[in-house]
Amino acid sequence: MITTDICIIGAGPVGLFAVFEAGLLKMRCHLIDALPQVGGQLSEIYPQKPIYDIPGYPSINAQDLVDNLMEQIASFNPGFTLGERVEGLDRQTDGSYIVTTNEGTTVHCQVVVIAGGLGCFEPRKPEIVNLERFEGKGVAYMVKNPEQLRDRRVVLAGGGDSALDWTVFLADVANEVTLVHRSDTFRGAPDSAEKVFNLARQGRINLVLQSTITSINGNGHLQEVSITAKDKTVMTLAADHLIPLFGLTPKLGPIADWGLTIDKSAIHVDTTDYSTNVERIYAIGDINTYPGKLKLILCGFHEAALMCQSAFRYVHPDQKLSFKYTTVNGVPTF
Spatial distance between the Cα atoms of 83 and 274, rounded to a whole number of angstroms: 26
d(CA 50, CA 57): 10
Is 312 a binding residue for other proteins by CB under 8 A? The answer is no
- Residue 282 forms beta bridges with which residues? 113, 275
By CB under 8 A, residue 188 contacts other proteins: yes
- Contacting ligand FAD (CB under 6 A), which of 5, 21, 240, 286? 286
User: From the CB of 252, what's the least distance to other proteins, in Å?
Assistant: 6
* Cross-sheet strand order for the sheet of 86-91: 2-3, 106-109, 97-101, 86-91
DSSP H or E run through 267:
strand 266-268
334 makes contact with ligand FAD (CB under 6 A): no
Stretch that binds ligand FAD, among 36-44, 67-75, 205-213, 259-267 (CB under 6 A): 36-44
**Does the annotation flag 121 for ligand binding?**
yes
Choose which of 23, 119, 158, 244 interacts with ligand FAD (CB under 6 A).
Answer: 119
What would the DSSP string read from start to end of 159-211?
A: SSHHHHHHHHHHTTTSSEEEEE-SSSS--S-HHHHHHHHHHHHTTSSEEE-SE
Q: Which of 88, 126, 188, 253 binds ligand FAD (CB under 6 A)?
A: 253
Q: Is 182 in the site for other proteins (CB under 8 A)?
A: yes
When asked if residue 250 is in the footprint of other proteins (CB under 8 A), the reply is yes
Site for ligand FAD in 47-66 (CB under 6 A): 51, 53
Closest residue by Cα to residue 180 from 239, 118, 109: 239
- Residue 125 touches which of other proteins, ligand FAD, none (Cβ within 5-8 Å per kind): other proteins
Rounded CA separation 261/243 (Å): 37
| Contact string (CB under 8 A) for other proteins, positions 55-74, x = contact | --------------------
Are 91 and 39 within 8 A, CB to CB?
A: no
CA 230 vs. chain centroid, Å, equals 34
Site residues (vs other proteins, CB under 8 A):
41, 45-46, 49, 118, 124-127, 157-160, 182-183, 186-188, 244, 246-247, 249-252, 256, 265
Query: Binding site: which residues?
Result: 33, 41, 46, 86, 121, 286, 327
